[in-house]
Structure 1
Amino acid sequence: MRKRERLELIKKLILEHKISTQQELLDILENAGQTLTQATISRDMNEIGIIKIPGPDGSYIYGLSKDKLRQEGHRIDETPSILAVSPLVDGLEKMIHVDVVPGTSRLIKRQLLTKYKEMIFSLIADDDSLLLVAKTDFYQQVIRQKLESMVVSDEQ
Protein backbone atom coordinates (compact mmCIF):
# COMPACT_ATOMS: atom_id res chain seq x y z
CA MET A 1 0.00 0.00 0.00
CA ARG A 2 1.31 3.43 -0.93
CA LYS A 3 1.80 6.11 1.70
CA ARG A 4 -1.07 8.25 0.40
CA GLU A 5 -3.45 5.27 0.59
CA ARG A 6 -2.17 4.42 4.10
CA LEU A 7 -2.75 7.99 5.30
CA GLU A 8 -6.30 7.94 3.91
CA LEU A 9 -6.96 4.59 5.63
CA ILE A 10 -5.67 5.92 8.96
CA LYS A 11 -7.81 9.05 8.63
CA LYS A 12 -10.87 6.93 7.83
CA LEU A 13 -10.27 4.64 10.83
CA ILE A 14 -9.83 7.61 13.19
CA LEU A 15 -13.12 9.11 12.02
CA GLU A 16 -15.02 5.80 12.21
CA HIS A 17 -13.68 4.34 15.49
CA LYS A 18 -13.17 5.64 19.02
CA ILE A 19 -9.39 5.05 19.22
CA SER A 20 -7.53 6.27 22.28
CA THR A 21 -4.00 4.84 21.82
CA GLN A 22 -1.55 4.32 18.99
CA GLN A 23 -1.49 0.62 19.90
CA GLU A 24 -5.26 0.38 19.31
CA LEU A 25 -4.76 1.97 15.89
CA LEU A 26 -1.88 -0.40 15.12
CA ASP A 27 -4.08 -3.38 16.07
CA ILE A 28 -6.93 -2.20 13.82
CA LEU A 29 -4.49 -1.64 10.95
CA GLU A 30 -2.99 -5.09 11.46
CA ASN A 31 -6.49 -6.62 11.29
CA ALA A 32 -6.86 -4.74 7.98
CA GLY A 33 -3.64 -6.35 6.70
CA GLN A 34 -1.27 -3.43 7.36
CA THR A 35 1.71 -4.09 9.64
CA LEU A 36 3.35 -0.83 10.72
CA THR A 37 5.72 0.29 13.44
CA GLN A 38 4.78 2.69 16.22
CA ALA A 39 7.26 5.23 14.81
CA THR A 40 5.60 5.11 11.37
CA ILE A 41 2.13 5.49 12.88
CA SER A 42 3.31 8.44 14.98
CA ARG A 43 4.77 10.23 11.92
CA ASP A 44 1.66 9.49 9.87
CA MET A 45 -0.64 10.81 12.60
CA ASN A 46 1.39 14.01 12.83
CA GLU A 47 1.31 14.47 9.06
CA ILE A 48 -2.46 13.89 8.92
CA GLY A 49 -3.12 16.30 11.80
CA ILE A 50 -4.53 13.77 14.27
CA ILE A 51 -4.85 15.02 17.84
CA LYS A 52 -6.52 13.88 21.07
CA ILE A 53 -10.03 15.27 21.47
CA PRO A 54 -12.63 14.85 24.22
CA GLY A 55 -14.81 11.82 23.54
CA PRO A 56 -18.52 11.59 24.34
CA ASP A 57 -17.82 9.89 27.70
CA GLY A 58 -15.19 12.44 28.81
CA SER A 59 -12.18 10.30 27.88
CA TYR A 60 -9.81 11.43 25.13
CA ILE A 61 -9.79 9.81 21.69
CA TYR A 62 -8.01 10.54 18.43
CA GLY A 63 -9.64 12.90 15.97
CA LEU A 64 -8.69 15.34 13.24
CA SER A 65 -7.54 18.85 14.10
CA LYS A 66 -9.91 21.72 13.38
CA ASP A 67 -7.61 22.92 10.59
CA LYS A 68 -7.71 19.52 8.89
CA LEU A 69 -11.50 19.21 9.26
CA ARG A 70 -11.91 22.73 7.86
CA GLN A 71 -9.68 21.85 4.86
CA GLU A 72 -11.90 18.87 4.15
CA GLY A 73 -15.08 20.95 4.26
CA HIS A 74 -16.42 19.73 7.62
CA ARG A 75 -18.38 22.12 9.81
CA ILE A 76 -16.59 22.41 13.13
CA ASP A 77 -17.06 23.83 16.60
CA GLU A 78 -14.88 26.93 17.00
CA THR A 79 -14.22 26.40 20.72
CA PRO A 80 -10.62 27.34 21.54
CA SER A 81 -8.34 24.65 22.96
CA ILE A 82 -6.55 26.91 25.45
CA LEU A 83 -7.58 26.32 29.05
CA ALA A 84 -5.36 28.81 30.93
CA VAL A 85 -2.49 31.26 30.48
CA SER A 86 -0.16 31.61 33.47
CA PRO A 87 0.04 34.92 35.29
CA LEU A 88 3.12 37.07 34.78
CA VAL A 89 5.98 36.13 37.16
CA ASP A 90 8.79 38.50 38.19
CA GLY A 91 12.04 37.44 36.53
CA LEU A 92 10.21 35.45 33.85
CA GLU A 93 8.76 38.36 31.88
CA LYS A 94 9.54 36.80 28.50
CA MET A 95 7.91 33.45 29.31
CA ILE A 96 4.32 32.27 28.97
CA HIS A 97 3.03 28.94 30.28
CA VAL A 98 -0.18 27.79 28.59
CA ASP A 99 -2.46 24.89 29.62
CA VAL A 100 -4.27 23.35 26.65
CA VAL A 101 -6.71 20.55 25.97
CA PRO A 102 -4.61 17.34 26.06
CA GLY A 103 -3.39 16.36 22.61
CA THR A 104 -3.74 19.81 21.04
CA SER A 105 -0.38 21.31 22.03
CA ARG A 106 1.46 20.38 18.81
CA LEU A 107 -1.26 21.97 16.70
CA ILE A 108 -1.30 25.14 18.79
CA LYS A 109 2.51 25.23 18.73
CA ARG A 110 2.50 25.03 14.93
CA GLN A 111 -0.11 27.83 14.73
CA LEU A 112 1.86 30.08 17.09
CA LEU A 113 5.13 29.47 15.22
CA THR A 114 3.41 30.25 11.93
CA LYS A 115 1.88 33.49 13.19
CA TYR A 116 4.56 34.74 15.63
CA LYS A 117 7.79 33.13 14.38
CA GLU A 118 9.76 36.38 14.45
CA MET A 119 8.65 37.09 18.05
CA ILE A 120 9.39 33.66 19.55
CA PHE A 121 12.78 32.61 20.89
CA SER A 122 11.65 29.10 21.86
CA LEU A 123 8.43 27.13 22.20
CA ILE A 124 8.26 23.79 24.00
CA ALA A 125 5.16 21.60 23.92
CA ASP A 126 4.15 18.51 25.84
CA ASP A 127 0.77 16.78 25.73
CA ASP A 128 -1.23 19.36 27.68
CA SER A 129 0.87 22.51 27.95
CA LEU A 130 3.22 24.91 26.19
CA LEU A 131 6.14 26.98 27.43
CA LEU A 132 6.78 29.95 25.18
CA VAL A 133 9.84 32.20 25.50
CA ALA A 134 9.45 35.47 23.59
CA LYS A 135 12.42 37.42 22.22
CA THR A 136 11.40 40.59 24.08
CA ASP A 137 9.05 41.64 26.87
CA PHE A 138 6.95 43.51 24.31
CA TYR A 139 6.58 40.42 22.09
CA GLN A 140 5.55 38.42 25.17
CA GLN A 141 2.79 40.96 25.84
CA VAL A 142 1.54 40.79 22.24
CA ILE A 143 1.43 36.98 22.24
CA ARG A 144 -0.03 36.78 25.78
CA GLN A 145 -2.87 39.12 24.82
CA LYS A 146 -3.80 36.90 21.85
CA LEU A 147 -3.58 33.71 23.94
CA GLU A 148 -5.69 35.18 26.74
CA SER A 149 -8.42 36.07 24.21
CA MET A 150 -8.54 32.37 23.22
CA VAL A 151 -8.96 30.93 26.74
CA VAL A 152 -12.04 28.77 27.24
CA SER A 153 -14.01 30.49 30.01
CA ASP A 154 -16.02 28.66 32.67
CA GLU A 155 -19.15 30.40 31.38
CA GLN A 156 -19.08 28.61 28.02
Structure 2
Amino acid sequence: MKKNERLALIKMLVLENEISTQHDLLKMLEAEGLTLTQATISRDMNEIGIVKVPSPSGRYVYGIKKETKKVSTQPRPIKSTVLAISEPVVGLENMLHLDVIPGNTRLIKKFIIEDFKDDIFSVISDDDSLLVVTKTAEGAEAVRNEVEKWMTIKN
Protein backbone atom coordinates (compact mmCIF):
# COMPACT_ATOMS: atom_id res chain seq x y z
CA MET A 1 0.00 0.00 0.00
CA LYS A 2 1.31 3.45 -0.92
CA LYS A 3 1.84 6.06 1.79
CA ASN A 4 -0.97 8.32 0.58
CA GLU A 5 -3.37 5.34 0.65
CA ARG A 6 -2.20 4.44 4.16
CA LEU A 7 -2.72 8.03 5.35
CA ALA A 8 -6.22 8.08 3.81
CA LEU A 9 -7.06 4.81 5.58
CA ILE A 10 -5.81 6.10 8.92
CA LYS A 11 -7.81 9.30 8.50
CA MET A 12 -10.95 7.33 7.62
CA LEU A 13 -10.54 5.03 10.65
CA VAL A 14 -10.07 7.99 13.00
CA LEU A 15 -13.11 9.81 11.61
CA GLU A 16 -15.37 6.74 11.74
CA ASN A 17 -14.32 5.23 15.11
CA GLU A 18 -13.70 6.34 18.68
CA ILE A 19 -10.01 5.45 18.96
CA SER A 20 -8.27 6.38 22.20
CA THR A 21 -4.77 4.85 21.80
CA GLN A 22 -2.22 4.26 19.08
CA HIS A 23 -2.34 0.58 20.03
CA ASP A 24 -6.07 0.48 19.18
CA LEU A 25 -5.38 2.17 15.86
CA LEU A 26 -2.58 -0.30 15.09
CA LYS A 27 -5.01 -3.20 15.75
CA MET A 28 -7.54 -1.69 13.34
CA LEU A 29 -4.85 -1.27 10.69
CA GLU A 30 -3.75 -4.89 11.18
CA ALA A 31 -7.38 -5.93 10.59
CA GLU A 32 -7.10 -4.06 7.27
CA GLY A 33 -3.94 -6.02 6.41
CA LEU A 34 -1.35 -3.40 7.41
CA THR A 35 1.43 -4.09 9.89
CA LEU A 36 3.09 -0.89 11.07
CA THR A 37 5.43 0.09 13.86
CA GLN A 38 4.42 2.51 16.60
CA ALA A 39 6.98 5.01 15.27
CA THR A 40 5.44 4.90 11.77
CA ILE A 41 1.90 5.35 13.05
CA SER A 42 3.05 8.23 15.25
CA ARG A 43 4.67 10.01 12.27
CA ASP A 44 1.60 9.37 10.12
CA MET A 45 -0.72 10.75 12.79
CA ASN A 46 1.42 13.86 13.13
CA GLU A 47 1.44 14.37 9.35
CA ILE A 48 -2.35 14.00 9.11
CA GLY A 49 -2.90 16.32 12.07
CA ILE A 50 -4.52 13.85 14.42
CA VAL A 51 -5.02 15.18 17.96
CA LYS A 52 -6.92 14.07 21.06
CA VAL A 53 -10.40 15.59 21.33
CA PRO A 54 -13.27 15.11 23.78
CA SER A 55 -15.84 12.60 22.53
CA PRO A 56 -19.59 12.62 23.21
CA SER A 57 -18.97 9.80 25.71
CA GLY A 58 -16.70 12.11 27.74
CA ARG A 59 -13.39 10.38 27.08
CA TYR A 60 -10.61 11.67 24.86
CA VAL A 61 -10.26 10.08 21.43
CA TYR A 62 -8.33 10.82 18.28
CA GLY A 63 -9.75 13.39 15.88
CA ILE A 64 -8.51 15.52 13.00
CA LYS A 65 -7.44 19.10 13.66
CA LYS A 66 -9.50 21.62 11.74
CA GLU A 67 -6.65 23.95 10.81
CA THR A 68 -5.84 24.81 7.22
CA LYS A 69 -2.40 25.89 6.02
CA LYS A 70 -0.34 28.61 7.72
CA VAL A 71 -1.91 31.74 6.21
CA SER A 72 -5.23 31.72 8.01
CA THR A 73 -7.17 34.26 10.02
CA GLN A 74 -9.21 31.50 11.70
CA PRO A 75 -8.33 30.61 15.29
CA ARG A 76 -6.14 27.56 15.58
CA PRO A 77 -7.54 24.35 17.05
CA ILE A 78 -5.05 24.85 19.85
CA LYS A 79 -7.75 26.79 21.67
CA SER A 80 -9.56 23.59 22.56
CA THR A 81 -6.50 21.70 23.78
CA VAL A 82 -4.99 24.13 26.32
CA LEU A 83 -6.64 23.41 29.67
CA ALA A 84 -4.75 25.72 32.04
CA ILE A 85 -1.82 28.11 32.25
CA SER A 86 0.20 28.81 35.39
CA GLU A 87 0.03 32.11 37.21
CA PRO A 88 3.27 34.15 37.34
CA VAL A 89 5.67 33.03 40.08
CA VAL A 90 8.10 35.45 41.72
CA GLY A 91 11.62 34.62 40.56
CA LEU A 92 10.33 32.57 37.62
CA GLU A 93 8.70 35.38 35.65
CA ASN A 94 10.14 34.09 32.37
CA MET A 95 8.56 30.62 32.73
CA LEU A 96 5.06 29.31 31.98
CA HIS A 97 3.53 25.91 32.57
CA LEU A 98 0.66 24.79 30.33
CA ASP A 99 -1.68 21.85 30.98
CA VAL A 100 -2.91 20.35 27.73
CA ILE A 101 -5.26 17.60 26.59
CA PRO A 102 -3.00 14.53 26.40
CA GLY A 103 -1.31 13.98 23.06
CA ASN A 104 -1.48 17.59 21.82
CA THR A 105 1.69 19.15 23.22
CA ARG A 106 3.67 18.66 20.00
CA LEU A 107 1.16 20.77 18.08
CA ILE A 108 0.97 23.48 20.73
CA LYS A 109 4.76 23.60 21.06
CA LYS A 110 5.03 24.12 17.30
CA PHE A 111 2.57 27.03 17.35
CA ILE A 112 4.23 28.72 20.34
CA ILE A 113 7.68 28.46 18.78
CA GLU A 114 6.39 29.77 15.42
CA ASP A 115 4.50 32.69 16.97
CA PHE A 116 7.14 33.70 19.54
CA LYS A 117 10.44 32.54 18.00
CA ASP A 118 12.26 35.73 19.04
CA ASP A 119 11.06 35.48 22.65
CA ILE A 120 11.51 31.75 23.29
CA PHE A 121 14.56 30.29 24.99
CA SER A 122 13.20 26.73 25.19
CA VAL A 123 9.99 24.69 25.28
CA ILE A 124 10.00 21.35 27.07
CA SER A 125 7.03 19.05 26.65
CA ASP A 126 5.67 15.69 27.69
CA ASP A 127 2.33 14.12 26.79
CA ASP A 128 0.08 16.56 28.66
CA SER A 129 2.10 19.63 29.66
CA LEU A 130 4.61 22.19 28.42
CA LEU A 131 7.23 24.26 30.20
CA VAL A 132 7.82 27.43 28.20
CA VAL A 133 10.99 29.35 29.06
CA THR A 134 11.28 32.79 27.51
CA LYS A 135 14.28 35.09 27.32
CA THR A 136 12.50 37.80 29.34
CA ALA A 137 9.54 38.27 31.65
CA GLU A 138 7.94 40.44 28.98
CA GLY A 139 8.21 37.57 26.50
CA ALA A 140 6.49 35.26 28.98
CA GLU A 141 3.71 37.78 29.44
CA ALA A 142 3.20 38.01 25.66
CA VAL A 143 2.95 34.22 25.41
CA ARG A 144 0.59 34.13 28.42
CA ASN A 145 -1.72 36.76 26.89
CA GLU A 146 -1.90 34.91 23.58
CA VAL A 147 -2.50 31.49 25.14
CA GLU A 148 -5.23 32.96 27.36
CA LYS A 149 -6.93 34.23 24.19
CA TRP A 150 -6.75 30.71 22.72
CA MET A 151 -8.39 29.37 25.87
CA THR A 152 -11.34 31.79 25.70
CA ILE A 153 -12.24 31.30 22.03
CA LYS A 154 -15.32 29.14 21.64
CA ASN A 155 -15.28 26.29 19.12
Alignment TM class, shorter chain as reference: 0.7 to 0.9
Secondary structure of 2:88 counterpart: coil
For residues 91 and 77 of structure 1, what CA distance do their matches in structure 2 show?
31
Note the residue ranges of structure 2 that are not aligned, 5 or more in a row: 70-74
Residue type matched to 1:5 in 2?
E
Query: Could you say what the CA RMSD is over the residues aligned between the two structures, in angstroms?
Result: 2.2
Partner of residue 63, structure 2: 63
Note the residue ranges of structure 1 that are not aligned, 5 or more in a row: none
For residues 62 and 77 of structure 1, what CA distance do their matches in structure 2 show?
17
Aligned partners of 1:53 and 1:62 also within 8 Å: yes
TM-score by length of 2: 0.86
Partner of residue 140, structure 2: 140
Once structures 1 and 2 are overlaid, which stretch shifts more, 100-109 or 82-91?
100-109
Residue type matched to 1:60 in 2?
Y
Partner of residue 24, structure 1: 24
Identity %, equivalent residues:
52
Count of residues in Structure 1 that have an aligned counterpart in Structure 2: 148
Secondary structure of 1:51 counterpart: strand
Residue type matched to 1:23 in 2?
H
Aligned partners of 1:52 and 1:60 also within 8 Å: yes
Partner of residue 11, structure 1: 11
1:102 CA displacement: 2.4
